Amino acid sequence: MFENILLIYKIGKDLGLSRREINKILLFDNTNHPTLYLVLMIVGIIGAVIIGVAIVIFGIYLSRNTYPAGTLYSTISKKDFRRKREKK
């Protein structure tokens, strides 16, 4: 990927473009508010990374089983069957 970007810079220099013009081509900077565009792009990238990490963590959390595979444990204990008079 970086090789492609360097190749674009080299081609741009061969065409006589300045570094600023090459950056405009790479960042699609055809807007009236370039600073706002840059901030929104950075926020979008950070947001995508955070959402990706959250999905991975949530997936790992959901994939964990309560009991190991092949075991037949019960969540019911003897305490669940107390007599009513013992509760008083």
pLDDT digit string (tens) for 64-75? 766 666 666 666
- Tokens read off for 84: 């009513």
Q: 34-63 and 19-27 helices cross at what angle (nearest 10)?
A: 40
Mean pLDDT over residues 56-61, rounded?
87
* CB 30, CB 24: distance < 8 Å: yes
Does the pTM surpass 0.75? The reply is no
* CB 29, CB 37: distance < 8 Å: yes
Determine what percent of the chain falls in helix, strand and coil, rounding each to the nearest 5.
70, 0, 30
Sequence spans of domains, the chain: 1-30, 33-68
